[in-house]
Amino acid sequence: MKVMIDTNVIISAALFPNGRAAEAFFKAMMPPYEPIVCDYIVDELHRKFREKFPDRLTELEAFLFQALSFVEVVQTPETAVETESKVRDPKDRPILRAALDAHVDLFLTGDKDFLESSITDPRIISVAEFLER
Protein backbone atom coordinates (compact mmCIF):
# COMPACT_ATOMS: atom_id res chain seq x y z
CA MET A 1 0.00 0.00 0.00
CA LYS A 2 1.63 3.23 -1.18
CA VAL A 3 1.61 6.13 1.29
CA MET A 4 2.68 9.65 0.38
CA ILE A 5 3.91 11.48 3.46
CA ASP A 6 3.24 15.22 3.53
CA THR A 7 5.73 17.92 4.45
CA ASN A 8 4.14 18.75 7.82
CA VAL A 9 4.34 15.14 9.00
CA ILE A 10 8.03 14.96 8.10
CA ILE A 11 8.79 18.28 9.79
CA SER A 12 7.05 17.16 12.98
CA ALA A 13 8.78 13.78 12.86
CA ALA A 14 12.20 15.43 12.42
CA LEU A 15 11.66 17.99 15.19
CA PHE A 16 9.83 15.75 17.65
CA PRO A 17 11.15 12.19 17.26
CA ASN A 18 9.02 10.94 20.17
CA GLY A 19 5.78 12.50 18.91
CA ARG A 20 2.74 11.09 17.14
CA ALA A 21 3.85 12.32 13.70
CA ALA A 22 7.16 10.49 14.11
CA GLU A 23 5.27 7.37 15.15
CA ALA A 24 3.10 7.64 12.03
CA PHE A 25 6.13 8.34 9.85
CA PHE A 26 7.93 5.24 11.08
CA LYS A 27 4.77 3.14 10.76
CA ALA A 28 4.56 4.23 7.11
CA MET A 29 8.11 2.91 6.64
CA MET A 30 7.08 -0.64 7.58
CA PRO A 31 5.29 -3.25 5.46
CA PRO A 32 2.63 -3.37 4.19
CA TYR A 33 3.26 0.32 3.48
CA GLU A 34 5.49 1.75 0.77
CA PRO A 35 6.50 5.30 1.76
CA ILE A 36 6.67 7.93 -0.97
CA VAL A 37 7.46 11.64 -1.12
CA CYS A 38 7.80 13.87 -4.14
CA ASP A 39 10.68 16.15 -5.03
CA TYR A 40 8.40 19.13 -4.34
CA ILE A 41 8.04 17.97 -0.71
CA VAL A 42 11.81 17.61 -0.33
CA ASP A 43 12.29 21.16 -1.67
CA GLU A 44 9.52 22.43 0.60
CA LEU A 45 11.16 20.79 3.63
CA HIS A 46 14.40 22.65 2.99
CA ARG A 47 12.58 25.93 2.39
CA LYS A 48 10.43 25.64 5.54
CA PHE A 49 13.40 24.75 7.72
CA ARG A 50 15.44 27.69 6.37
CA GLU A 51 12.49 30.03 7.09
CA LYS A 52 11.25 28.70 10.43
CA PHE A 53 14.01 26.56 11.94
CA PRO A 54 17.35 27.77 10.52
CA ASP A 55 19.22 26.62 13.61
CA ARG A 56 17.94 23.06 13.10
CA LEU A 57 18.91 22.50 9.47
CA THR A 58 21.51 19.95 10.53
CA GLU A 59 18.79 17.89 12.23
CA LEU A 60 16.72 17.95 9.04
CA GLU A 61 19.66 16.86 6.92
CA ALA A 62 20.48 13.99 9.29
CA PHE A 63 16.83 12.92 9.36
CA LEU A 64 16.50 13.07 5.57
CA PHE A 65 19.78 11.23 5.06
CA GLN A 66 18.41 8.28 6.99
CA ALA A 67 14.77 8.49 5.91
CA LEU A 68 15.28 8.96 2.19
CA SER A 69 17.17 5.70 1.96
CA PHE A 70 13.83 3.99 2.77
CA VAL A 71 11.45 6.38 0.97
CA GLU A 72 10.82 6.51 -2.75
CA VAL A 73 11.15 10.04 -4.12
CA VAL A 74 8.99 10.67 -7.19
CA GLN A 75 8.98 13.56 -9.62
CA THR A 76 6.23 16.16 -9.41
CA PRO A 77 4.41 16.47 -12.74
CA GLU A 78 4.23 19.99 -14.13
CA THR A 79 0.86 19.64 -15.82
CA ALA A 80 -2.10 20.50 -13.61
CA VAL A 81 -4.97 18.04 -13.17
CA GLU A 82 -8.63 18.88 -12.57
CA THR A 83 -8.80 17.24 -9.13
CA GLU A 84 -6.17 19.54 -7.64
CA SER A 85 -8.58 22.50 -7.72
CA LYS A 86 -10.30 20.85 -4.73
CA VAL A 87 -7.28 21.83 -2.59
CA ARG A 88 -7.64 25.39 -1.26
CA ASP A 89 -3.95 26.26 -1.12
CA PRO A 90 -2.43 26.45 -4.61
CA LYS A 91 1.00 25.70 -3.09
CA ASP A 92 -0.28 22.26 -2.06
CA ARG A 93 -1.62 21.31 -5.46
CA PRO A 94 1.66 19.99 -6.92
CA ILE A 95 1.83 17.53 -4.02
CA LEU A 96 -1.60 16.14 -4.86
CA ARG A 97 -0.58 15.98 -8.51
CA ALA A 98 2.47 13.89 -7.57
CA ALA A 99 0.36 11.62 -5.34
CA LEU A 100 -2.06 10.99 -8.19
CA ASP A 101 0.74 10.39 -10.68
CA ALA A 102 2.42 7.90 -8.29
CA HIS A 103 -0.93 6.12 -7.75
CA VAL A 104 -0.65 6.28 -3.97
CA ASP A 105 -3.36 4.69 -1.85
CA LEU A 106 -3.04 7.00 1.16
CA PHE A 107 -1.90 10.57 1.64
CA LEU A 108 -0.70 11.09 5.23
CA THR A 109 -1.02 14.71 6.32
CA GLY A 110 -1.93 17.15 9.05
CA ASP A 111 -2.79 19.90 6.58
CA LYS A 112 -6.40 21.06 6.86
CA ASP A 113 -6.43 22.11 3.21
CA PHE A 114 -6.07 18.45 2.33
CA LEU A 115 -8.04 16.97 5.22
CA GLU A 116 -11.04 19.23 4.57
CA SER A 117 -11.03 18.73 0.81
CA SER A 118 -13.53 16.42 -0.83
CA ILE A 119 -10.77 14.34 -2.42
CA THR A 120 -11.28 10.60 -2.11
CA ASP A 121 -8.50 9.34 -4.38
CA PRO A 122 -6.03 9.06 -2.87
CA ARG A 123 -7.57 8.65 0.56
CA ILE A 124 -6.39 11.56 2.69
CA ILE A 125 -5.69 10.49 6.24
CA SER A 126 -4.58 12.26 9.40
CA VAL A 127 -1.80 11.09 11.68
CA ALA A 128 -4.34 10.00 14.31
CA GLU A 129 -6.40 8.01 11.79
CA PHE A 130 -3.29 6.38 10.36
CA LEU A 131 -2.09 5.31 13.80
CA GLU A 132 -5.50 3.77 14.53
CA ARG A 133 -5.34 1.57 11.40
**Tell me: the pLDDT tens digits for 82-123?**
888 899 999 999 999 999 999 999 999 999 999 999 899 999
Helix H or strand E encompassing 124: strand 123-125
* pTM recorded for the entire structure: 0.93
Three-class DSSP category at 73: strand
pLDDT value for 47: 95
pLDDT digits (tens, 9 = 90+) for 48-85: 999 999 999 998 899 889 888 899 999 999 999 988 88
Confidence of residue 133 (pLDDT cuts 50, 70, 90): confident
Residue 67 contacts by C-beta under 8 Å, 6 or more apart in sequence? 10, 25, 29
User: Average of pLDDT values for 40-44?
Assistant: 96
